[in-house]
Structure 1
């Protein structure tokens, strides 16, 4: 029998076979390596597809690392703590939080938790619900604008996967994604393929031609009916729609993909170059088409918009959540209150945490919004509008690290407890408007029996300040999401 490998054939015992070794496929070491590979493949097949994918993602540093999973059949008890429940402006003491099956099952007196429980001593630290960012772009947060519009979408998704884990480690256990191709990332997180927050996805942001979601370059115009979709449309960043029929189609496509709410663009924006900030976008009947399609699926529409005209038009069409809105006048703010709409607002203050802009047009628009931000917070609170926290960190590599710091900035306008409620209990109420389209059944943003067990342990006192949230590496001692501990440094 000859030795055949890589096209060569040498008789056993021949002089050539003694010294010529074109490849090592037949060597004992190689055969042993093959055996190990085959055993590993069989093991992966036995573990199932998710485990195999998990191993693949581990090579990119994206696989989740649980500090402690909940022991099956045994509750977990957090003890020796003071906690903010997400609503009441106080810290509760002398209590223990019981977690079982991914939910908070009871809040009991100190020492009264189940005796067979796994106990986590919080060392007297503060406990809060997991934080919620109501205006987040999970796939667009950590790439530059030019990268988002031109790079291979696989790279964008891998960066998003890495950022998802960092978001969770900052204490944001839930985000409402207000535009971008996030459905795959959400599935990967939900299946424990990688670590990240719960995601309430909007899918592609729906925009009119020339609207804030139209990122096409001018040299691509005019667009004809037979032309293929633009890169941002093909990849799910945006969906351009003109007329009621097209708005219905694009809305229904996002619902088909699994959107928990719909995002439309009802006015000009800062990041785009070609739509002035003062423009109203989408006719009222076009917006109403999106609202009706969403209502048929038991959910709602949120709308990017800054100006009074755009906000009022959106409210008349039935939009339930105003995103940004910093240029609203008094009458418009009162209309938001009367309609029971939510104001998803961000601390756009043109400071060191602002999304970087180099174009003079963008810079001018950014400054205009920052001027309106202070007044918007003051007037909105004075009128009693329902407000929830978001950051809208967008196309800003490295900027996501400011997420907790931006929450702390709200104490410029309100007490630390009121600010924290905007990112916990109030934010959870906004998310609940998704109804049956909510991807995670159960209350979020609160520490209460029946709520999902998303809990954080902090070295800091929310009764005095939220500044400690700006440095989660040092001050965030425990991150629990759904009863699983992703970080423990107690």
Structure 2
């Protein structure tokens, strides 16, 4: 098996069954031509080969060719490092771990990720320059939080910066930014945009991982949220918010937020409101064992969140909500590979083709909502179509018949190509 990256001038994939990221059925007995990082042709007639070409021909032998997977809610830095790393490790080690995890995500078949908190713009730049392997990254940069909010990782005895204290190490590492009041929120949003954020992430309610806030808390006033939305809009992009409860989601939508991250404690009326606002619900198919909290208070919060998963998915389907899929694995590097297991778990709530659409073209549509902050806008993501990015997977077994095959990418993703580069070839 080869995992080295190669960039032939042209790649012809022959005799493949194409799931294009959208259609109900595969296009069978197809040839697909990739060149210059793009899909050039998808044809049921043989693609001609010029013997003078620098061309790699791959015989698919009836395997399924599908777009690369995407994850709409990752923390690449948070996946790669535990809390002790953030508190004690050398900064270089933190970034080294992050680069390594980006490479692992690509080997799991994730060619695009939307990062919802962490200093990943420098990692994105290195990947885009070809220095390291990894997915296309849509960074949010630091999660923006109020004091005592979900992304406030200072200790209880620390003096807030507003009163003369200094930022926590999480802020020094650009993983989070604590900002209170409209002027500081505006500054924090503009800081993330200056650093390369594609979209902005605010935390508007409690969470399982955070220290000070019950799930029921409302965080940030409507004026503060509107200020963030306006500053993001001025840059042509949008605000996504960590929030679980009906009251928090209502406040977010009233202020113009475009993407609700999580939402597991929503009621049906709130889910309907998300649909009416034409906003996104970026939800994760959480199970209790996805995260491990030795603290009983956090474990109880995690259990409550997980209990709402199936119900909210059902309402989202019923009301036609724009729904994205993500993982939100955080601070447990040993659990990072659960990303693939959680992708397959989407089949518990959707048909296989619906799940695969969400994992490809659906998530891509949310990523592309970043407008001009989308540095990959020269071509379409998440589809196999003429002119789209050449981000494709050749799958050993048919995921349309059995979604569980994507839970084992090492065995079942025979070929991984990103931007026309072969990053894995097990044929």
| 1:387 maps to 2:323 | yes
Conserved? CA contact 2:39–2:387, under 8 Å:
yes
Structure 1 window deviating more from structure 2 (301-310 vs 465-474): it is 465-474
**Which residue in the other structure is 2:16 paired with?**
81
1:105 equivalenced with 2:43 (yes/no): no
Give the Cα–Cα distance (whole angstroms) in 1 for the partners of residues 224 and 125 of structure 2: 31
- 1:364-375 equivalence runs, <5 A: 364-375=300-311
The aligned residue for residue 133 of structure 1 is: 71
For residues 260 and 299 of structure 2, the distance between their equivalents in structure 1, rounded to whole angstroms, comes to 23
2:369 match:
433
Give the unaligned 5+ runs of structure 2.
none
1:451 is the counterpart of 2:388: yes
Aligned position for 1:242: 180
SS at match of 1:421: helix
Partner of 1:56: none
In structure 1, the residue matched to 2:29 is 94
User: CA-to-partner distance for each residue in 1:398-443, whole Å, 9 max, x for gaps?
Assistant: 2111111111111111111111111101111111101111021221
- Bigger drift between 163-172 and 139-148 goes to 139-148
**TM-score, normalised via structure 2 length:** 0.96
1:472 aligned to 406, 409, 423, which one? 409
Residue number in structure 2 paired with 1:66: 4
Q: Which residue of 2 aligns with 1:484?
A: 421
Larger mean CA deviation between 148-157 and 453-462 belongs to 148-157
Tell me the CA shift for residue 65 of structure 1: 5.7
Alpha-carbon distance in structure 2 between the residues aligned to 1:405 and 1:119: 31
Conservation of the 8 A alpha-carbon contact between 1:79 and 1:110: no
Structure 1 residue 151, shift from structure 2 partner: 2.5
Structure 1 residue ranges without an equivalent (≥5) = 1-63
Tell me how far 1:107 sits from its aligned partner: 1.1
Alignment length (residue pairs): 422
Q: Are 1:257 and 2:195 counterparts?
A: yes
Q: Please give the alpha-carbon distance, in whole angstroms, between the structure 1 residues aligned to 2:353 and 2:257.
A: 28
In 2, Cα distance between equivalents of 1:119 and 1:65: 17
Relative contact order higher in (CA < 8 Å, ≥ 6 apart): 2
Change (3 A) 1:222 1:301: closer
CA RMSD of the aligned region, Å? 1.4
Aligned with 1:279 (options 206, 212, 217):
217
CA displacement 1:111-133 (0-9 Å, x = unmatched): 13444543211222111101000
> Does the 8 Å CA contact 1:261/1:299 hold for their aligned counterparts?
yes
Q: TM-score, normalised by structure 1?
A: 0.84
**In the TM superposition, what is the alpha-carbon distance from 1:223 to its structure 2 partner?**
4.4
Is residue 397 of structure 1 aligned with residue 333 of structure 2?
Answer: yes
| 3-state SS in 2 of match to 1:215 | coil
Q: Check whether the contact 2:76–2:101 (CA below 8 A) recurs between aligned residues.
A: yes
Matches within 5 A, 1:31-430: 66-71=4-9, 75-116=10-51, 117-351=55-289, 354-430=290-366
Q: Deviations over 1:266-288 (max 9, x none)?
A: 11111012111111111111011
